[in-house]
């Protein structure tokens, strides 16, 4: 059972992004702060800052001198600041100059051609999920039955992990992102370390090249930096990162898009009747419902927009708030399905910009293509019952819907 959250006295001086109210109302909170207190603060978590203007978020994301990525998820356990040559999950927790090396290693498996090769598999899987949803009688949960499954299945395939381990991945993510706490003790055999170490040892003992059908774990186990094999912590950290960064993020985007379409049947019809709109719609879903807020740790005392940022303070980088800034986007608070100019920050800004964006876009567009093709009418069972996850990855966690009209696969 998780601890009851203390009520938030003021979002400007006492914010708590892990509070359920943040999950339900974050866009209104960002708007209020942007107007009245563009850099909010809290004493919680040992002290943290929250900028909400696009300009500030972009500047901080690009400032690797004053901010380290050694801590990217705010928890009770603050990492040592002493630089993050690698951090616990490279490249996202690495600072320059090591960051570039760790990032470069991971680029090939996420390049457009490599991702295109997964599209057919993803489409087939989405159809399977829809078959199950329409076969169920009455209300179904579109998060549990659809959005949450897609990224889990695809990353398991890429990593060569059993497709049936999806529930384990979800538990690992919950422990890291949604409920990080120093007080919770997780039995060793239920940890991600224990699980992945077994698979890494197996790949070291039975190596396969990429030509022989090697997977992403084989790839990392055999990779080198200037002729030296990667440290065990590097291999583990990067795999853990791909599981954590690749799953909740994308399912939140797919879920938010379905939540939107359930309440805006005209947009559902537009996507079905006018497929040319779809690429614009994908970018607008990403902008408007951006799920990912990252954290940094202040590396040097400095002035942060008039606020005294102190070495060791946490800072949240709410890219979703940047996406709603009226200084950056015309009609920022409106969802415009065919918005033409859309330089959103959903995938971050600066050197850590999302490495999995080709994969994320592919999954989101295939998931929506198949949904729009098969489900012609659906509605939320009860808008009040939709629960948005709070914390650094925000998206609809429970999404009960009722399907009115669907068609078989053509």
Q: By the criterion CB under 6 A, which residues form the site for ligand HEM?
A: 61, 69, 72, 91-92, 103, 155, 241-242, 245-246, 249-250, 253, 290-292, 294, 319, 346-348, 352, 354-356, 359-360
**What is the C-alpha separation between 41 and 11, in angstroms, rounded?**
8
**What is the C-alpha separation between 259 and 403, in angstroms, rounded?**
13
Q: How far is the CB of 336 from ligand HEM (least distance, A)?
A: 19
Give the residue with the Cβ less far from ligand HEM, 103 or 302: 103
User: Parallel, antiparallel, or unpaired for β 48-51 and 314-318?
Assistant: parallel
Q: How far is the CB of 286 from ligand HEM (least distance, A)?
A: 6
Q: For residue 109, what is the DSSP state? A: G
Q: Are 364 and 282 in contact (CB under 8 A)?
A: yes
Give the residue with the Cβ less far from ligand HEM, 258 or 403: 258
Structure tokens at 309: 């940022």
Residue with the CB atom nearest ligand HEM in the bound state: 356
Give the residue with the Cβ less far from ligand HEM, 346 or 380: 346
Q: How far is the CB of 60 from ligand HEM (least distance, A)?
A: 10
Give the residue with the Cβ less far from ligand HEM, 86 or 292: 292
Q: How far is the CB of 236 from ligand HEM (least distance, A)?
A: 14
Q: What is the largest CA-CA distance in the chain?
A: 61
Give the residue with the Cβ less far from ligand HEM, 33 or 92: 92
Q: How far is the CB of 62 from ligand HEM (least distance, A)?
A: 10
User: Can you tell me whether residue 379 is helix, strand or coil?
Assistant: strand
CA proximity to 61, closest of 388, 292, 260, 219: 292
Q: What angle do CA 254, 257, 259 make, to 5 degrees?
A: 110
Q: Are 71 and 80 in contact (CB under 8 A)?
A: no
Name beta bridge partners: 297. Answer: 68, 314
Q: How far is the CB of 378 from ligand HEM (least distance, A)?
A: 22
Give the residue with the Cβ less far from ligand HEM, 96 or 265: 96
**What is the C-alpha separation between 343 and 92, in angstroms, rounded?**
22
């Amino acid at each position: 059972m998780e601890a009851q959250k203390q009520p938030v006295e003021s979002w400007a001086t006492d914010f708590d992004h892990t509070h359920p109210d943040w999950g339900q109302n974050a866009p209104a909170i960002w708007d209020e702060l942007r107007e009245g207190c563009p850099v909010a603060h809290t004493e919680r978590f040992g002290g943290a800052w929250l900028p909400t203007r696009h300009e500030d978020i972009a500047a901080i994301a690009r400032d690797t001198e004053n901010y380290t990525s050694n801590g990217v998820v705010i928890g009770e356990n603050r990492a040592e600041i002493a630089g993050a040559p690698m951090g616990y999950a490279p490249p996202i927790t690495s600072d320059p100059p090591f960051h570039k090396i760790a990032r470069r290693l991971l680029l090939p498996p996420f390049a457009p051609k490599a991702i295109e090769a997964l599209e057919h598999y993803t489409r087939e899987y989405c159809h399977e999920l829809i078959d199950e949803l329409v076969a169920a009688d009455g209300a179904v949960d579109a998060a549990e039955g659809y959005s949450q499954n897609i990224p889990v299945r695809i990353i398991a395939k890429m990593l060569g992990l059993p497709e049936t381990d999806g529930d384990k991945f979800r538990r690992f993510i919950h422990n890291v992102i949604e409920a990080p706490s120093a007080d919770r003790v997780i039995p060793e055999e239920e940890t991600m370390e224990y699980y992945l170490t077994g698979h890494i040892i197996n790949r070291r003992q039975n190596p396969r090249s990429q030509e022989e059908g090697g997977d992403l774990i084989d790839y990392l186990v055999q990779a080198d930096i200037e002729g030296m094999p990667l440290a065990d912590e590097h291999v583990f950290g990067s795999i853990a990162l791909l599981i954590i960064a690749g799953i909740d993020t994308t399912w939140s985007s797919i879920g938010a898009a379905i939540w939107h379409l359930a309440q805006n049947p005209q947009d559902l019809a537009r996507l079905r009747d006018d497929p040319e709109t779809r690429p614009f719609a994908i970018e607008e879903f990403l902008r408007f419902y951006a799920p990912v807020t990252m954290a940094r740790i202040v590396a040097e005392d400095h002035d942060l927009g008039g606020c005294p940022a102190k070495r060791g303070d946490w800072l949240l980088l709410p890219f979703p708030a940047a996406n709603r800034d009226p200084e950056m986007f015309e009609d920022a608070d409106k969802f415009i399905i065919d918005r033409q100019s859309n330089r959103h920050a959903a995938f971050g800004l600066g050197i850590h910009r999302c490495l999995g964006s080709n994969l994320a876009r592919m999954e989101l567009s295939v998931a929506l293509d198949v949904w729009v093709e098969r489900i012609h009418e659906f509605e939320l069972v009860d808008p009040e019952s939709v629960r948005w996850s709070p914390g650094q990855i925000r998206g609809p966690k429970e999404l009960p819907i009722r399907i009115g009209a669907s068609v078989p696969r053509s």
